[in-house]
Each structure stands twice: as C-alpha cells, then as structure tokens.
Amino acid sequence: MTPPLTLDFVAEKMNEFGTADLVRSNRIRIHTTPEKVSNAIKYALDTLGCDRLVTISTVDNGRTFELLYHLIGPHRTVISIAVEVPRETPDIISMSGILPPAGIYERQIHDLFGITFRGHPGLSKIILNEDWPPDEFPLRKDWKKNPDTYYGGIRKEGV
C-alpha cells in the first residue's frame, strides 16, 4: 500500500478534465463530460496509479443519467469519475477496450437504464430475461409496469 492521494494532488493532475471534490476521506470525485471521460479514465490509470475498476454506478436523477466510474489503486483512494448523460440521447463511449470488467457492467446498465455504449463488442441482454420488452428500462424513474405488457414468466390465462 502507498500513501493515500490528496485532493490537491488529484485536482491539479485532473485539472483539464473537470473539477474535483472530496466526498469522503478516501474518495475523490471528478466531474467531467461524456466527451472527456475516456481520456480522463486513461489519464487516471496512467498518472494517478489506479489499477482496477471497482464498479460503474448509475443514478437516474430525473434530468440526466449519472454514471460514476470508480477506480482504485495501491493508494487505496477511490477515484470516482462522474459524467452526466442526457436522457434524450443516452449514449456514451464504451470503456470495455481499456478496462475489460467494464464490459459486463455496461451490459447490465444497458439492460436496466437503456444507455447505449458505443463500441461495445456485444451489448446483449444479461440481467433481464429474454422475454422482457426491448424498449422498457425498469430502473428509470419514470418506468411504470404496464398491465397489458408481457414481461416473461407464466402468461395470463386467455392471452
């Protein structure tokens, strides 16, 4: 283990990608834009000594979809790179080329939120069953179960 990263150090290094803030004693969040996210992650891997993707968290805040890429390294400081994706055109570049574990998380997010990841090698269903309607994304805040839609499982009698 190496000494933890400080906010000043990270803020200075990641200055070109956006602002940094200290969310917790061991977690620093950097707000960036969907265009810069790929470079920001590459830069964090090369310069901040991060070596592993912990997870990609997703939040639907009603206005946009927030994606947070949590990276960690020998310094044991979580670097969260946060981007907001517009609801109307939910698409962003896939990170699976640089970070292989992103592939499975992106497939999950694609199933549940309907965010498209450009350049993903196989963005097929993984979490939802094969009968789930392709245009419904259950973790979006405005999703409501439609009583007339078939979501899989046993069909109602007479249908």
Closer residue to other proteins (CB): 4 or 86? 4
103 in Cβ contact with 54 (< 8 Å): no
Q: Is the dihedral of CA 78, 83, 85, 91 positive or negative?
A: negative
Rule CB under 8 A: is residue 7 a binding residue for other proteins? no
Closer residue to other proteins (CB): 144 or 158? 144
DSSP 97: T
In the list 11, 13, 58, 116, the residue contacting other proteins (rule: CB under 8 A) is 58
Query: For residue 31, which of 42, 46, 16 has the smallest C-alpha distance?
Result: 16
Q: Is the dihedral of CA 83, 89, 93, 95 positive or negative?
A: positive
In the list 14, 37, 79, 128, the residue contacting other proteins (rule: CB under 8 A) is 128
Q: Which stretch binds other proteins (CB under 8 A): 13-21, 30-38, 54-62, 84-92?
A: 54-62
Q: Is the dihedral of CA 101, 104, 44, 26 positive or negative?
A: negative
For residue 112, the minimal CB distance to other proteins (Å) is 8
Rule CB under 8 A: is residue 92 a binding residue for other proteins? no
Rule CB under 8 A: is residue 35 a binding residue for other proteins? no
**What H or E segment, with its residue span, contains residue 120?**
none
In the list 122, 134, 147, 158, the residue contacting other proteins (rule: CB under 8 A) is 122
Rule CB under 8 A: is residue 22 a binding residue for other proteins? no
Q: Which residues pair with 66 in a beta bridge?
A: 59, 84
- State how far the alpha carbon of 121 is from the alpha carbons of 44, 62, 128, in Å: 24, 29, 19
Residues near other proteins (CB under 8 A): 1, 23-24, 26-27, 51-55, 57-60, 68, 70, 72, 76, 78, 80, 99-101, 103-105, 108, 112, 122, 125-130, 138-139
